[in-house]
Chains A and B, each alone.
Chain A
């Protein structure tokens, strides 16, 4: 598949910043004099998915919010699609954010709007397409997460897992180039989790979306590293053994605001850092 080849290229040329979707350079952030992120540096090549792990409170959600420019770091630079979000005005950021989708940890659906209006929010705001086309796109996005029947419901009528999936539909409806998922499988049953992971694999392999995936579940990221979306069956398939490096997937592990691991699945399995080994166990 040509897209996979491209991604391999991207993997090799880390230095070239135009191939990078997201770059963090020595980012430091303090809340009330406490360092939440301490010299965090990493880069996400275009088309790749990077899973971010870390204990609760280690700064994972904060990284996603910084990427969107929702707040500014105290030091360091953050480049998204080649643009420095730390130096941009809120007005310019609105433009850039249109290319980025985010799934919030607690969904953050608009509780005064129906599921349809939540999912359609971006399209309605952009105001470029008619109602009928919007309805079609909403239907498409909702069927992606298997929630077509909830169109007319309000977020308060949905379960936590359903809200999470509506959040995913809202994020992907405009087919953004970058997706940020904050714990999309948190607190979900294994079957639903697998459905969601399959969705992410599809986003990665079919649309070539670059993404950051915050998760507490290592197995989710390992499934992503060992599976590829098969267009023929419409499901993800395990890779034949020995070809792991072809999947554009990497791992980042945080500990108390510091990056303690950044690499692919093979490197992760080989690591001898005791903290990470405990994490893997």
Chain B
């Protein structure tokens, strides 16, 4: 202890220790992820907690989902129009907006918005419970925080993000159609028929698989950072920020690989 005093309290961590810490963290996160799923098949199931979480995640995120869907769909239409207009192919707006929204933009934007709102919420809520010893109290009272806190949040987020994404996709099409009609005078009816017709089964499938994974990422990351929060209120703040950043980045990276994987599996060329 005394030897280190001349460093003025700066902690020096060897690269090996640092790597060990990171590997341990990844291991812990993996364990949490696995348990969050296996707990679904073990008693007790916390149904009431699931419903409460579903309500706070689903109903609570409705406004941001509606706004995100409408504005992103509209913006997508604007951008496509300016490009397509140069080739005299304005009528293709519907196809571009529809495919872009359902396959990519809808799931990713909804995921990012919900991550911003709920990964942070979970990290700060569970983090405060952690630093005020409520997590210890829970364990001491014979309850597994993994079952009581993590599993309901993961299940509720996966479940609700799925429907929120469908809603965002639809509102994206609505936003696009408004732009197409009002600003470019396209036919309303024709817009909707083409939007619908262009969508293949595989497009929809890809758009619906993504939110399942993104929901899982949001909740497990939020809970992980909450449960590992350390060092008082400041630590909770740090955990919250980290949860938003980590879940956001992870969603984008996973999206890239998942898109590639699904394209292969679903036979895109």
Q: Hey, which bits of chain A sit against chain B, CB under 8 A?
A: 34, 65, 68, 70, 90-91, 94-95, 97-98, 100, 102, 104, 106, 108-111, 121-122, 125-127, 170
Bound CA span A98–B139, Å? 10
Interface residues of B in 111-144 (CB under 8 A from A): 129, 132-134, 136-144
The reply to whether B139 and A97 form a contact with Cβ atoms under 8 Å apart is: yes
Contact across chains for B136 and A104 when beta carbons are under 8 A apart: yes
| C-alpha gap A278/B151 in the complex (Å) | 52
Q: A127 contacts B44, CB within 8 Å?
A: yes
Q: How far does the alpha carbon of A111 sit from the alpha carbon of B130 in the complex, in Å?
A: 12
For B136, the closest partner residue in chain A by CB is A70
- Closest B residue to A95 by CB, please name it: B142
Q: What is the chain B residue whose CB lies nearest that of A33? A: B1
Contact B44 A94 (CB under 8 A): no
Residues in A whose Cβ lies below 8 Å from that of B1: 34
Is the beta-carbon distance between A97 and B140 smaller than 8 angstroms? Answer: yes
With A and B bound together, what is the CA distance between A155 and B137 in angstroms?
14
Q: Which residues of B contact A106 (CB under 8 A)?
A: 132-133
Query: How close is A189's CB to chain B, nearest CB, in angstroms?
Result: 24
13 contacts between A and B (CB under 8 A): A68-B140, A70-B140, A90-B139, A91-B144, A94-B144, A95-B142, A102-B140, A104-B136, A106-B132, A108-B136, A109-B137, A110-B134, A122-B141
Most buried by B among A34, A70, A94, A108: A108
Interface hub of B137, B139, B140 (most chain A Cβ within 10 A)? B140
Contact of B142 among A65, A97, A108, A109 (CB under 8 A): A97
Count of chain B residues with a beta carbon within 8 Å of a chain A beta carbon: 15
Q: In the complex, what residues of A have CB within 8 A of residue B144's CB?
A: 90-91, 94
B44 contacts across to A, CB distance below 8 A? 125, 127
- Over the window 132-168 of chain B, the binary record of Cβ atoms lying under 8 Å from chain A Cβ atoms (1 yes, 0 no) is 1110111111111000000000000000000000000
B121 to chain A, nearest CB (A): 13
Judging by beta carbons under 8 Å apart, are B137 and A108 in contact?
A: yes
- B143 with A108: CB separation less than 8 A: no
Contact among A34, A111, A121 for B132, CB-based, below 8 A: A111
Residues of A within 8 A of B137 (CB): 102, 104, 108-110
* A95 → B minimal CB distance (Å): 8
| Chain A contacts for B132, CB-based, 8 A | 106, 108, 111
A111 to chain B, nearest CB (A): 7
A95 vs B140: C-alpha distance when bound (angstroms)? 10
Given the known inter-chain contacts A34-B1, A127-B44, please indicate yes or no for A94 contacting B134, CB distance below 8 A.
no
Can you list the 6 inter-chain pairs with the closest CB atoms, starting with the nearest? A108-B137, A108-B133, A98-B142, A97-B142, A102-B140, A94-B142
Q: Are B134 and A108 in contact (CB under 8 A)?
A: yes
**Seed contacts A94-B143, A97-B141, A104-B137; 16 additional CB < 8 Å A-B pairs:** A70-B136, A90-B144, A91-B144, A94-B139, A94-B142, A94-B144, A102-B137, A104-B140, A106-B133, A108-B132, A110-B137, A110-B138, A111-B132, A122-B141, A122-B142, A125-B142
Chain B proximity of A113: nearest CB distance (Å): 10
Question: How far, in whole Å, are A90 and B144 apart by their CA atoms in the complex?
Answer: 9
State how many angstroms separate the Cβ of A229 from the closest Cβ of chain B.
26
What is the CA–CA distance of A100 and B142 in the complex, to the nearest angstrom? 9
**Chain B residues with CB below 8 A from A104, complex form:** 133, 136-137, 140
Beta-carbon nearest neighbor of A64 in chain B: B140
Kindly list chain A residues whose C-beta atoms are within 8 Å of the C-beta of B141: 97, 121-122, 125, 170
Q: How far is the CA of A70 from the CA of B141 in the complex (A)?
A: 11
In the assembled complex, the Cα of A45 lies from the Cα of B136 at a distance in Å of 26
Residues of B within 8 A of A90 (CB): 139, 144
Return the chain A residue nearest B143 by Cβ: A125
Report A-chain residues with C-beta under 8 Å of the C-beta of B143. 94, 121, 125
Distance of A170 from chain B, by nearest CB (Å) = 8
